[in-house]
Amino acid sequence: MKKYFILFLFCFPLILQGQTYTSIAQARKVAVGRAAYVAGRVTSTNQFGLIVYIQDATGGIAVVSGKLAVAVGIGDSVRVSGLISTSNSQIQLGTSNTIVDFTKINVPAKAVVPKIITIDEAKNYESQLVTIKDAEFDDKKFVLLPNTNYQVKVGTNSIDLRAVATTNIIGRTKPQGKVAVTGIMGLFNTSYQLQPRFIEDLPTTEVYKKPQTGLTADKSFKLATWNTNWLGNTANGPTGELLQQKNFQQVLDSLKADVFVLEEVSNVNFFKDFISKYTHYKGFCSSAVSAGGVADDAQRVCFIYKKGVVDSVSARPLLTKATTLPNYPENNPNRFWASGRLPFLFVADVNINGVKKRLHIVGVHARANSSGTAVTTDAKELQYRQRRYDVEVLKDSLDAQFSTANVILVGDYNDDVDETVSEINSTKESSYKKFIDDTKNYQSISKLLSDNGVRSYLSQNNVIDHITVSDELVNNYVSNSVSPELAFTYIANYSSTTSDHLPVYATFNFERDRLLGFEPSIDDLAIKVFPNPTKGNITIEAEGNNFEYTLMNFSGNSLVESTGNLEKMNRSVNDKLSVLPTGMYLLKIQSGEKNGVLKIVKE
């Protein structure tokens, strides 16, 4: 018996070839662990990775075989033999640890015509190619993300549509109306999932269009933020460090930003080595890290900036002297800013085609949220209150110390800006509410992503990686240029090999100042105009006692040109603005050696 058993294992595929092949419907009734022998037409090849689907007139079945996936085409006829198994309740032939034997039958290929079914009939067509007509996505925003389920409905009935990471539908837009969706009917535990194989199965889906600014790279400033998921840490984040680091550079090379603000850089030695070899860039990291653990393994904020475009003036953690923290939640000031992961200020001089700006870029990685049933409601409430307290202290500091500076608050906010992502009952308010409400001094340019249903944190339906600018930079931001980088479209298994966050970037135009007939220095005149957009009446604030000012249309034609104090300037500009049509106008102001310009939008 022992000799026979050993012979059987080594000759398993050959013995199977001598068996009588049954219908797929009969094979699906074979007990798990027993052999089955079927023949059928291929309905998917390598679209789902190692899983191939075949069917005959009686049914369909999943076959686990990487070799089969690359050896056949859709419509080919094959004989397949292997052991019956299940994966999350779906019946399949073969496993990743057993041999599947197959033979391609020498007959002309003929693609299987999908069966048109209703959602109620899904349970009768497991592993078969089907079409559901007049299907409509519940959520039509953003794009199809890898290995993510979406609800599609017909009338009042709905079913999950599974966007499998290895298909070419990933990163494309969702159909905006009713369509006939084709795919393999999969089963995951008790849930049936329609799995499109490729873009032809999902009519009207389109390529996601990145924002087009009309500006070349040498005439614009591009800023990106990215949580790199414990970059360089062997105990946390992706386990394949070499692959993560290779993918890290691939994302940076794709973005080509002038400044990268990175969160969760863990291995400083890797970062320093990387920067030393990254020819066109320089970089450095914050000394402020979260308390607990070895400092070299902790999370930190780092900057990478482009040589010849950005010059480093200074860098330092902020709030180092914020030792008196009255009423800090839970009376534990040691938890302030994620237990020491303080905001990191980078003062940089940026030179874009001869136009210079001094930027104060504040990189943040705020207090995180814990989620799930294992975390108590009180703990979630405490984390929210701590982050909100931290953020409000930062705003007070920025208001007091950098009220006229060109400030960019950028990084992993660990909260959205339209409403909080914290799983709490006390409020829906974002912990960044004080910044959001202060429209006179700040604008969250990335709120557009939240409004448009974008994700930056792949496992949850929200944006937590944000960019906020002070009023001094609002007019330099290129409208609608903020966008996520869909790195998962060019990096396989992105969320497990690289990061669970998408980079978010925005573009700024400093060239506009040159077109107005002057070139502002780094010491630009600080100007504030509010409300902006306006219905026709604005308040202008500027440093100085006497001003030369010009209100122009966007063609450069002068509409008001005069001199006077702040009161006169406000009065004369408003008199003209009140009778002008809706549109964009430019206000140029000079006081002594300083000058500045603002875009005014009249609604």
Q: pLDDT tens digit string along 267-312?
A: 999 999 999 999 999 999 999 998 765 666 799 999 999 999 999 9
Q: Are strands 300-306 and 259-265 parallel, antiparallel or unpaired?
A: antiparallel
pLDDT recorded at residue 15: 41
Confidence of residue 10 (pLDDT cuts 50, 70, 90): very low
pLDDT recorded at residue 512: 60
Answer CATH for 523-602 from 3.40.50.2300, 3.30.70.20, 2.102.10.10, 2.60.40.3080: 2.60.40.3080
pLDDT recorded at residue 77: 98
pLDDT recorded at residue 554: 66
The CATH number given to 2-105 is 2.40.50.200
Residue 17 has pLDDT above 60, yes or no: no
pLDDT recorded at residue 597: 81
Confidence of residue 150 (pLDDT cuts 50, 70, 90): very high
**Burial letters for 191-222: b for 16+ Cβ neighbours within 10 Å, e otherwise?**
ebbbbbbeeebbeebeeeeeeebebeeeebbb
pLDDT, averaged across the chain: 92
More confident of the two residues 1 and 506: 506
Torsion of CA 299, 300, 305, 310, to 10 degrees: 170
The average pLDDT across 239-245 equals 94
Which own/partner contact pairs does 532-536 have at CB distance under 8 Å and 24+ positions apart? Answer: 532/474, 532/598, 532/600, 532/601, 533/601, 533/602, 533/603, 534/577, 534/600, 534/601, 534/602, 534/603, 535/602, 535/603, 536/574, 536/577, 536/578, 536/580, 536/602
Q: Specify the residue for token string 């799930």.
A: 372
Worst-scoring range by mean pLDDT, 183-187, 502-506, 589-593? 589-593
Q: pLDDT tens digit string along 53-91?
A: 999 999 999 999 999 999 999 999 999 999 999 999 999
Q: What is the DSSP secondary structure assignment for residue 464, as one 8-state letter? A: -
The average pLDDT across 239-254 equals 96
Full-model pTM: 0.84
* CATH fold for domain 221-510: Deoxyribonuclease I; Chain A (3.60.10)
Residue 9 has pLDDT above 80, yes or no: no
Residue 385 has pLDDT above 90, yes or no: yes
pLDDT recorded at residue 295: 65
Residue 6 has pLDDT above 50, yes or no: no
Residue 431 has pLDDT above 60, yes or no: yes
More confident of the two residues 281 and 598: 281
The average pLDDT across 155-175 equals 98
Judge residue 75's burial from the number of C-beta atoms within 10 Å of its C-beta, 0-12 exposed, 13-18 middle, 19 or more buried.
middle
Q: Which residue stretches of 41-187 are H helix? A: 66-71
pLDDT recorded at residue 310: 98
pLDDT recorded at residue 8: 32
Percent of the chain exceeding pLDDT 90 equals 79
Confidence of residue 523 (pLDDT cuts 50, 70, 90): very low
Do residues 369 and 383 touch, judged by C-beta distance below 8 A? yes
DSSP 22-48: B-HHHHTTSPTTSEEEEEEEEEEEEEE
Confidence of residue 5 (pLDDT cuts 50, 70, 90): very low
Within this chain, domains 2-105 and 115-201 share the same CATH topology: yes
Q: At what angle do helices 241-255 and 268-277 cross, to 10 degrees?
A: 50
pLDDT recorded at residue 19: 65
Of 478, 486, 488, nearest in space to 504 by CA: 486
The average pLDDT across 113-126 equals 98
User: Which residues are CB-neighbours of 286 under 8 A, at least 6 positions away?
Assistant: 300, 301, 302, 315, 317, 342, 344, 363
Q: pLDDT tens digit string along 524-579?
A: 677 888 888 888 899 998 888 899 999 988 667 889 999 999 999 999 999 999 99
Domain boundaries, the chain: 2-105, 115-201, 221-510, 523-602
More confident of the two residues 513 and 317: 317
pLDDT recorded at residue 292: 62
The CATH number given to 115-201 is 2.40.50.200
Residue 121 has pLDDT above 60, yes or no: yes
Enter the tokens of residue 373: 């049933």
pLDDT recorded at residue 50: 95
Residue 32 has pLDDT above 60, yes or no: yes
Q: pLDDT tens digit string along 453-488?
A: 999 999 999 999 999 999 889 889 998 999 999 999
Separation of alpha carbons 118 and 192, rounded Å = 13
